[in-house]
Structures are given as structure tokens and as C-alpha cells.
């Protein structure tokens, strides 16, 4: 293992300190926590340092050659942590079809961007904002009995069921494993490309309606969402 100069100096100081500490502890009865520290300390003392003087450098750990690329940064943002290997394939590899399908659907770019945020769990739901703003409630704006996650808004919210019913977009309700991407993947498998477009616009219109209800004091109205989706899809189809 090659360690840079500054890191080497720091490690030596730590080793010296730990050695003195460990000497002081010898012969004493240690608590369980103390024994753990002792074991860790011995492991640190056993780390072999490189004899070569290597300067510290910056590396982009997502690429083998350490050089930053926008492509990999986008993939990490879109697919979550690429390094979580499951069954030999990274999460990005296993979910690549979800993202590539998303970009191929004929809807407005703003709908696609919204959907990217939804699939990345990056929408400003109350659950998400509460983790960033101290004192904010993380409970649902409508039922106030559950955390307002994106899955709760787009799957549990009563309005969603009525909107989906009227748009003919009802899927198998048990066909997802718990996360919002699992829910989207289940719909992707069931729906053709056109239905996926309606589904994406449907979610986008629901989010728009949710914001109008919360920030503009509008009434909750599934008919309003259904009309919006139909108008937008008509405009999109008309533009083809
Ligand atoms: Zn709710």
C-alpha cells in the first residue's frame, strides 16, 4: 500500500500515541470496549508503511484511471450507488433499461426530468425536505398519518387511484418490491410505450396538482388532474 508523505507522518504520530497507550494498558483488566480498541490498535501498529515517498493526489474513484468524467457522474446520480454490487451486476447495470426506456418515451423534456427526479428519490417531498430543513414536518400534506415519501404520494394517495382508473392505467398493485423504482419498473413491464407516456405525464400532473393544493390552496380534484393529462397528451400527440 502506498501512503502519501503527509499521511505517513500522521500515521507515525498515531502509531506512537497508540503504542504508549497500549504499554500503559498492559497488565490491566480491560472492559470489552477497551479490548476492541486494543485489538484495533494492534492492527494499526501492524500496518506496513511504504518506504517510498509518494505525494498525495486526487483520484476520481468511480473510474479505474482516476480521471473524472461527466458520464460516470451522471450514471451515479441517476442510478444511485454504482458500487453496490448485487449478484455480480451493479445496480446501474441492472436498472439501465429503466433509464434508457425513460428517455425514449415521447413526452416533454420537463416531464422526463421530473421523472428522473422521481426515480432518483430526489423530489422535494416532505420526507426529503425534512432531512434538510430543521423543524419541517415529514408527514404527508394530505393524510398526515404517514411520511410523505414519493412512493406514498404516487401510490398511496387516494387521488392517484381515481386518476389511474380514469386514464386506464391501473396496474398490478402488488407488483413492486417497496421502492419507487421497483414500482416504476413494474409499470414499465406492464405498459407499452404509449401507456408509459401517459403514466409519466400522469405522475407529473399529480405532482403539479399536489403543489397547487399545498402552495396555492386549491381543492384536491382528481378530475382536474385527468383533464391536465389528457390536454398535455393531446398536445404531445398533435406535435408528432
Ligand atoms: Zn398521505
- Which protein residues have a CB closer than 5 Å to ligand 1 (ion)? 140, 142-143
How far apart are the CA of 157 and the centre of ligand 1, in A? Answer: 6
How far apart are the CA of 150 and the centre of ligand 1, in A? Answer: 10
User: Which tens digits make up the pLDDT trace of 190-215?
Assistant: 888 888 999 999 999 999 999 999 99
CA dist list (Å): 113 to 90, 102, 110, 218: 23, 10, 5, 25
User: Which tens digits make up the pLDDT trace of 77-91?
Assistant: 765 544 445 555 666
How far apart are the CA of 145 and the centre of ligand 1, in A? Answer: 6
Of the candidates 39, 203, 194, 175, the one whose C-alpha atom is nearest the C-alpha of residue 119 is: 203
How far apart are the CA of 147 and the centre of ligand 1, in A? Answer: 7
**Against a cut of 0.75, is the pTM above it?**
no
Percent of the chain with pLDDT over 70: 78
How far apart are the CA of 89 and the centre of ligand 1, in A? Answer: 35
User: Which tens digits make up the pLDDT trace of 104-156?
Assistant: 899 999 999 999 999 988 999 999 999 888 888 899 888 888 889 888 888 87
* Helix/strand/coil for 47: coil
- Grid coordinates belonging to 229: 393529462
How far apart are the CA of 194 and the centre of ligand 1, in A? Answer: 29
Amino acid at each position: 500500500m502506498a501512503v502519501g508523505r503527509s499521511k505517513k507522518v500522521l500515521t507515525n504520530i498515531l502509531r506512537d500515541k497508540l503504542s504508549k497507550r497500549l504499554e500503559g494498558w498492559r497488565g490491566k483488566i480491560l472492559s470489552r470496549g477497551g479490548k476492541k480498541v486494543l485489538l484495533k490498535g494492534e492492527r494499526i501498529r501492524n500496518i506496513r508503511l511504504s518506504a517510498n515517498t509518494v505525494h498525495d493526489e486526487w483520484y476520481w474513484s468511480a473510474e479505474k484511471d482516476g480521471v473524472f468524467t461527466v458520464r460516470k457522474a451522471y450514471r451515479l446520480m441517476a442510478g444511485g450507488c454504482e458500487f453496490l454490487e448485487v449478484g455480480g451486476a451493479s445496480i446501474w447495470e441492472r436498472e439501465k433499461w429503466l433509464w434508457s426506456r425513460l428517455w425514449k418515451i415521447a413526452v416533454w423534456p420537463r416531464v422526463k426530468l421530473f421523472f428522473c427526479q422521481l426515480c432518483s428519490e430526489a423530489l422535494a417531498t416532505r420526507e426529503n425536505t425534512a432531512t434538510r430543513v430543521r423543524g419541517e414536518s415529514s408527514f404527508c400534506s394530505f393524510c398526515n398519518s404517514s411520511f410523505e415519501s414519493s412512493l406514498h404520494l404516487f401510490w398511496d394517495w387516494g387521488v392517484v387511484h381515481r386518476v389511474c382508473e380514469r386514464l386506464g392505467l391501473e396496474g398490478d398493485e402488488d407488483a413492486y418490491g417497496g421502492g419507487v423504482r421497483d414500482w416504476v419498473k413494474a409499470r414499465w413491464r406492464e405498459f407499452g410505450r404509449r401507456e408509459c407516456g401517459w403514466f409519466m405525464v400522469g405522475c407529473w400532473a399529480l405532482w403539479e396538482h399536489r403543489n397547487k393544493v399545498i402552495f396555492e390552496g386549491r381543492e384536491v380534484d382528481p378530475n382536474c388532474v385527468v383533464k391536465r393529462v389528457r390536454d398535455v397528451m393531446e398536445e404531445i400527440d398533435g406535435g408528432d
